[in-house]
Structure 1
Amino acid sequence: MSEQAQWDSSIAFIFAMIGAAVGLGNIWRFSYVLYSNGGGSFFIPYFIAIAIMGIPFLILEYGVGFSFKESFSKIMRKIKPEFEIIAWILVLFVFVVTIYYMVILSWDLVYLLSSFTFNWGTDTAAYFVNNVGGSSNLSNASFLLVPTTIGVVLLWVVLWFISHKNVDKGIGKVSKILIPALFVIMGIIIVYALTLPGAGIGINTLLTPDWNKLFDVNIWLAAFAQIIFSLSMGQAIAITYASYLPENSKLIDNVLIVVASNSAFEICTAFGVFSILGFMSLTNGVPMVQLITEGTGLVFIVFPMIFNIMGPIGRILAPMLFLAILFAGVTSALGFFEPMLNSTSAKLGWSRKKTAGILSIIGCIFSLILTTGISSYLVGIIDTFVNQFGILLLIGIQCIIFAWFYGVEHFLPALNENSTFKVGKTWTFVIKYLLPTVLIIMWAIGIFQLFSTAKSFEIIVDVVIIIAVLVTAAVLTKVSPRGE
């Protein structure tokens, strides 16, 4: 039977939540979003988005998880039986995130090992395409990228080993080790980066404000999108983790700690990233605009190129960076995996150990499908679709369900009882009216952009994901709950 888990303290919960929030996007996405959306002026919509979306919604998630102390699927079923299928659709989408996230982590693992010998050579783009991430040429789907394939298997074994244990001995213990280590490593990299020749060029490029962009609605949408994905909002992670909290927890205080830690990490990392890009620009005479990119292009192509010209210090910084990415990725992957693990265990009455084993095998099989010669292309398609279509829509639906069908006021006593900071009418208004409106608008714009530019192969992949998620969600909903 599934057992009710619990953190041994709020510290374990806070580190686990920071681990779930601080991930690859903080390292390779935020700096690009900041630069391309007005530079220094982007901080205005960014902090407003934190104030009216990030903090309020996380407070709601903490309140829901702490009040019900059940799996996400059980919570939705208790509110209204018809809502259970919505829960399963969400946790399945998040499980899909886990599947492709493990592939990205495998790329990083390959680069971590390569960083000791720099065997990516001088043509770093070719190394990534031929050995790690593949290309968009569909004919390459006929073969596996062996290093990535091996990395996926190893990382799923690690994820299983941590997740099959009780949350406090597994996720809690690992998070308390990896998160401080991650902050120390990135702190060293950032401090050194700020001392590099040309660092000022990079930071000036990053922060130069474009005040006119504040009147562009897309900049505001970018800020809200960054907060949603940076904090892993609405993905049932916070609800699941909060359900393990002991009594007398200071819920709102914990929210503020997690949000502040996440923002501080990604802002400081952006300074480090652009300091290193400024160094490359000055040293090799390459214009900054040619170096600035995001995602895999930044981490797996541009950074190795920079490490190549750094000399001995590059031999030290390269392993540190890829190790930091691995730590950030593993703690985030644990968060993505937990909602599906918790809900399945509770629904089927399986032990945590059995559920973790079965889901890890299933997840690993699907991850291996994404290690062919079109690995990065497939991952990009799935990532865009799952986030812009599935998760964003379901965040808005959750907001409506908890605020209107259940009644957001029911969470106020639990939220305010032990917290230093309190919430009331303003928070209720934001959850009931403001957030659902913003989220639905963002979803509609995202869907239009997604399908207006999608190629036929990308649409086929999207449709396959929808069908698989809906069918599996329907089956899991129909299964009679065990142990009730």
Structure 2
Amino acid sequence: MRSLAEIQHFPSETKTPTTRKTYDMMTDVKNYEDPRFLNLDNFNEKKRIEAEYKRVNEGPIAEVNNAFEDTNDCPHIRPARMIPEPSAPFEAPTMPNDTCRAISVPDSDNYPRETWGKKAEFLLSVIGFAVDLGNVWRFPYICYRNGGGAFLLPYFIMLFFLGLPLFYMELSLGQFHQCGHMKIWKKICPIFYGVGYSICVILLLVSFYYNTIISWALFYLLASFNTHLPWSTCGNRWNTNSCIVLAPDMDHSLYTNMSKTSATEFFERYVLEIHKSNGLSDLGPIKSPIVGCLIAIMIIVYFSLWKGIKSSGKAVWVTATLPYVVLFILLVRGCTLPGAGGGIFFYLKPQWNRLLEFKVWVDAAVQICFSLGPGFGSLIALSSYNPRKNNCYRDSLVTSIINCFTSFIAGFVVFSVLGYMSHVTKRSIQEIAVAGPGLVFVVYPEAVASLPGSVFWAIIFFLMLITLGLDSTFGGLEAFLTGFTDEYQILRRHREFFVAGLIVFVFCMSLPTTTYGGQYVITLLDEHAASYSLLFVCFVELVAVHYCYGLTRFSKDVESMLGFQPNIYWKVCWAILCPVFVLVIFILSLYGYGGLKLGDYVFPKWVENIGWFVSFTSISCVPAYMVYISIVTACSSRPNWMALIGRDSTALKSDQNVVHMELKETRNGQPPLQPPIPIEL
């Protein structure tokens, strides 16, 4: 095997013209942390340079690695494995008029990190993750319940002073440190490493029920491929004597408080069969049609994630764009329906006196937090595949505004149809409007069934729901996968099997939600899986990044990527406003807990205790790891307590102990002495 000197003095005549450029770059860029190597957008080009390096050495890379030794000779270079000096003395090669300057960049792994094929794939993935089913069934209801158009004022205030700063912070963290939500805490503040595990637990708990809701939409989609919609009539085997059909020519005298619409009975007595369950103590058997739909959803998710962002980046071209096409079609159709104007007026009519109610502001803050999705780790994971010079500031503004705009437009789609239903049934919108799954699986299907061409409208509507749900599933599970594959390289090498194992595990844990009493399980998880723990995670992130790692250091990290520091607006939001808002919302959410209800059913106390245990499962990861790492540090021979909170003097001096080489002209025109050159493979 050639020594480093022989490689560097390899005769240029032996290089073919086709490999000369690659070889010159390979010998020039000796550290894979060099910005010229990291900023290569083409992943295949990176792999080609590595392969050329191996060819020149003419031997297994393992032999070179065995000869490496750790060194700290250069304070501006993190410990790297070095090639020993050859027997014949030689001067370390230098580039004239150049010197090394250390700037703050993240620690890279021993492999070129995969990057997005196109910038649009990243934007679509982030938009698809943020825009989910909640934009359709939660925001419109929350808006009209809290003052209509007046609610938009606290909503946008919370967007600019809470949601957007959190969104920008997470995109910046992932892009700068080039790793997922687990490994990043080793670089920022090791004592908060438990936050990574907390996020993983949250992601798993949400996936246990979220995919089942998507399978309901798939069930409806398949049922729509018929000559008439099955929920448009009574007289089916699942209907009762109390069933009525809402239609323009209906006899309104038949409608009583005991009556149930055909769409309601289809959802409750055919799709769910919840009437056969008495609660969590009697879930009943698994429903095979729902399980079949869940299997289909899991297969789609697997083949969208098994190759990482290579596969998911292609899938979002369909799953992230199709909902907007369908939403526009439904908007146009809804606004042309009789009575649509009354529904839209009801949606936007401002009730300014409601702004004096504290609950309205809390609802606005909660809606922003859960709509944009900070705290799930997905924003960190998705942005970690960006080049470090990507403009994440612009990305955060664009994607956040698109997400909120989508919620606003979805309100027009929903309330135009509610206005039509109010016009047809002669009932007030307050009686018709409901929040949650009932809006998209009962109310909207009722309206669709009464339209000409109802089959077509039903197909595109449920297709939109499926794609909205799949995008969020992609983002959540990709965050989980990125966290573990960054931390454990064996999982990265066998990603296909890891993804398969995760999908099988999620499917098995989702089976209780496919039983007759599955909606009771979904209600429990929806309330306790992420509602409280996600706010806790966001608060810990803000404290760890801006008070332990340091707001100044974080601002310099952003400057090294974008060329400018965040202005005073962002710094005040990160350091003061966001932590205060999140903490207040967390406390008020706990204080305002009113138990669990599903329709007229009130969950017993023991079920609520299970719910709090579910919430505590994810929250407890943070203090549990703090106790563990504190004990380990106390038992070590040289405990370094400041390093646990990211304030170690060495880390501060070298700005988190991670730097890369950047060439700079010296003042006197003479190159300085160079330290041994690290080569990482």
Q: TM-score, normalising length from structure 1?
A: 0.93
Once the two structures are superposed, the pairs formed by residues 301-320 of structure 1 within 5 Å of their partners are 301-312=442-453, 314-320=454-460
Alignment of 1:374 onto 2:485: no
Instruction: Indicate conservation of the 8 Å contact 2:138/2:435, yes or no.
Output: yes
Structure 1 position 49, deviation (Å): 0.8
Structure 1 position 319, deviation (Å): 0.9
Once the two structures are superposed, the pairs formed by residues 206-245 of structure 1 within 5 Å of their partners are 206-245=347-386
- Counterpart pick for 2:611 among 462, 480, 483: 462
Deviations 1:77-128, CA, capped at 9 Å, x for gaps:
2223331122101221122112211011011111111222312344222221
Instruction: Indicate conservation of the 8 Å contact 2:532/2:615, yes or no.
Output: no
For residues 345 and 364 of structure 1, the distance between their equivalents in structure 2, rounded to whole angstroms, comes to 21
For residues 458 and 409 of structure 1, the distance between their equivalents in structure 2, rounded to whole angstroms, comes to 46
Instruction: Please tell me the residue identity of whatever aligns with 2:352.
Output: W
SS of the residue corresponding to residue 247 of structure 1 reads: coil
Distance 1:187-1:416 versus aligned 2 partners, 3 A rule: farther
For residues 384 and 500 of structure 2, the distance between their equivalents in structure 1, rounded to whole angstroms, comes to 22
- Counterpart pick for 1:25 among 121, 124, 134: 134
Instruction: Indicate conservation of the 8 Å contact 2:231/2:449, yes or no.
Output: no
For residues 467 and 210 of structure 1, the distance between their equivalents in structure 2, rounded to whole angstroms, comes to 38
Larger radius of gyration: 2
Instruction: Please tell me the residue identity of whatever aligns with 1:380.
Output: T
Instruction: Indicate conservation of the 8 Å contact 2:532/2:589, yes or no.
Output: yes
Instruction: Please tell me the residue identity of whatever aligns with 1:361.
Output: V
Instruction: Indicate conservation of the 8 Å contact 1:2/1:345, yes or no.
Output: no
Instruction: Indicate conservation of the 8 Å contact 1:114/1:120, yes or no.
Output: no
Name the residue aligned to 2:304: 162
Name the residue aligned to 2:540: 397
- Counterpart pick for 2:341 among 200, 206, 221: 200
Instruction: Please tell me the residue identity of whatever aligns with 1:378.
Output: V
Instruction: Please tell me the residue identity of whatever aligns with 1:163.
Output: L
For residues 595 and 464 of structure 2, the distance between their equivalents in structure 1, rounded to whole angstroms, comes to 37
Instruction: Please tell me the residue identity of whatever aligns with 1:7.
Output: W
Distance 1:415-1:131 versus aligned 2 partners, 3 A rule: farther
Deviations 1:284-316, CA, capped at 9 Å, x for gaps:
21221111111111111111211222132x222
For residues 559 and 459 of structure 2, the distance between their equivalents in structure 1, rounded to whole angstroms, comes to 44
Instruction: Please tell me the residue identity of whatever aligns with 2:522.
Output: V
Structure 1 position 212, deviation (Å): 0.5
Deviations 1:262-296, CA, capped at 9 Å, x for gaps:
11111111001100111111122122111111111
Instruction: Indicate conservation of the 8 Å contact 1:388/1:443, yes or no.
Output: no
Structure 1 position 463, deviation (Å): 4.5
Structure 1 position 62, deviation (Å): 1.0
Instruction: Please tell me the residue identity of whatever aligns with 2:158.
Output: A
Instruction: Indicate conservation of the 8 Å contact 2:528/2:614, yes or no.
Output: no
For residues 471 and 365 of structure 1, the distance between their equivalents in structure 2, rounded to whole angstroms, comes to 24
Distance 1:327-1:452 versus aligned 2 partners, 3 A rule: closer
- Counterpart pick for 2:291 among 124, 149, 153: 149
Name the residue aligned to 1:329: 469
Instruction: Indicate conservation of the 8 Å contact 1:344/1:355, yes or no.
Output: no
Q: What's the % identity of the aligned pairs?
A: 27
Instruction: Please tell me the residue identity of whatever aligns with 2:219.
Output: V
Name the residue aligned to 1:79: 188
Instruction: Indicate conservation of the 8 Å contact 2:176/2:561, yes or no.
Output: no
Structure 1 position 460, deviation (Å): 3.8
- Counterpart pick for 1:37 among 131, 134, 146: 146
SS of the residue corresponding to residue 197 of structure 1 reads: coil
SS of the residue corresponding to residue 423 of structure 1 reads: coil
Instruction: Please tell me the residue identity of whatever aligns with 2:221.
Output: L
SS of the residue corresponding to residue 235 of structure 1 reads: coil
Once the two structures are superposed, the pairs formed by residues 367-446 of structure 1 within 5 Å of their partners are 367-416=510-559, 423-446=566-589
Distance 1:72-1:250 versus aligned 2 partners, 3 A rule: same
Name the residue aligned to 2:438: 297
Structure 1 position 237, deviation (Å): 0.8
Deviations 1:410-463, CA, capped at 9 Å, x for gaps:
333453566599622221111111111111111111122336567324324325
Name the residue aligned to 1:131: 270
Alignment of 1:119 onto 2:217: no
Instruction: Indicate conservation of the 8 Å contact 2:129/2:473, yes or no.
Output: yes
Gaps of 5+ in 1: none
For residues 374 and 564 of structure 2, the distance between their equivalents in structure 1, rounded to whole angstroms, comes to 21
SS of the residue corresponding to residue 141 of structure 1 reads: coil
SS of the residue corresponding to residue 73 of structure 1 reads: coil
* CA RMSD across the alignment: 2.5
- Counterpart pick for 1:248 among 361, 367, 389: 389
Name the residue aligned to 1:447: 590
For residues 383 and 423 of structure 1, the distance between their equivalents in structure 2, rounded to whole angstroms, comes to 36
Gaps of 5+ in 2: 1-109, 234-261, 597-602, 630-680
Q: Which structure has greater helix proportion?
A: 1
For residues 582 and 501 of structure 2, the distance between their equivalents in structure 1, rounded to whole angstroms, comes to 34
Structure 1 position 50, deviation (Å): 0.8
Deviations 1:292-350, CA, capped at 9 Å, x for gaps:
111111111111211222132x2221111110111111011111111211112223321
For residues 396 and 564 of structure 2, the distance between their equivalents in structure 1, rounded to whole angstroms, comes to 10
Structure 1 position 468, deviation (Å): 5.4
For residues 438 and 445 of structure 2, the distance between their equivalents in structure 1, rounded to whole angstroms, comes to 10
Instruction: Please tell me the residue identity of whatever aligns with 2:207.
Output: T
Instruction: Indicate conservation of the 8 Å contact 1:102/1:152, yes or no.
Output: yes
- Counterpart pick for 1:179 among 320, 335, 344: 320
Instruction: Indicate conservation of the 8 Å contact 2:339/2:422, yes or no.
Output: yes
For residues 303 and 329 of structure 1, the distance between their equivalents in structure 2, rounded to whole angstroms, comes to 17
Alignment of 1:191 onto 2:318: no
For residues 83 and 414 of structure 1, the distance between their equivalents in structure 2, rounded to whole angstroms, comes to 20
- Counterpart pick for 2:172 among 63, 69, 84: 63
Instruction: Indicate conservation of the 8 Å contact 1:16/1:331, yes or no.
Output: yes
Deviates more, 1:450-459 or 1:56-65: 450-459
Instruction: Indicate conservation of the 8 Å contact 2:162/2:581, yes or no.
Output: no
Deviations 1:151-183, CA, capped at 9 Å, x for gaps:
11211111111111131x212111122222221
SS of the residue corresponding to residue 120 of structure 1 reads: helix
Name the residue aligned to 1:109: 218
Instruction: Please tell me the residue identity of whatever aligns with 2:481.
Output: L
SS of the residue corresponding to residue 310 of structure 1 reads: coil
Instruction: Please tell me the residue identity of whatever aligns with 2:532.
Output: F
| Displaced runs of 4 or more, over 4 A | 416-422, 451-454, 466-475
For residues 615 and 536 of structure 2, the distance between their equivalents in structure 1, rounded to whole angstroms, comes to 13
For residues 261 and 5 of structure 1, the distance between their equivalents in structure 2, rounded to whole angstroms, comes to 26
Alignment of 1:338 onto 2:481: no
Instruction: Indicate conservation of the 8 Å contact 1:131/1:145, yes or no.
Output: no
